[in-house]
Amino acid sequence: MIGRLNHVAIAVPDLDAAIAQYRDTLGADVAAPQDEPDHGVTVVFITLPNTKIELLHPLGEGSPIQGFLDKNPSGGIHHICYEVDDILAARDKLQASGARVLGSGEPKIGAHGKPVLFLHPKDFTGTLVELEQA
Residue 132 a catalytic site member: no
Q: Are 73 and 65 in contact (CB under 8 A)?
A: no
> Residue 29 is inside which H or E element, if any?
strand 29-30
Instruction: Tell me which residue of 36, 83, 30 sits closest to 56, measured CA to CA.
Output: 36
Q: How many residues does the chain have?
A: 134
Q: What are the residue boundaries of the structural domains of the chain, listed by start?
A: 2-133
SS3 category, 67? helix
Q: Are 12 and 18 in contact (CB under 8 A)?
A: yes
Q: What is the mean pLDDT of the chain?
A: 96
The catalytic position among 36, 54, 61, 130 is: 130
Based on C-alpha coordinates, what's the Rg of the chain? 15
Q: Are 90 and 132 in contact (CB under 8 A)?
A: no
Taking the model in full, what pTM does it have?
Answer: 0.94
The pLDDT value given to residue 70: 96
The residues pairing with 117 across neighbouring beta strands, listed in sequence order, are 131
pLDDT average, residue stretch 108-126: 96
- Express each pLDDT in 43-98 by its tens digit: 999 999 999 999 999 998 889 999 999 999 999 999 999 999 999 999 999 999 99
The DSSP secondary-structure symbol of 15 reads H
Residue 18 confidence class, pLDDT cut points 50, 70, 90: very high
- Decide the pairing of beta strands 41-47 and 52-58: antiparallel
| Fold designation for 2-133 | 2,3-Dihydroxybiphenyl 1,2-Dioxygenase; domain 1 (3.10.180)
Whether the predicted pLDDT of 40 surpasses 90:
yes
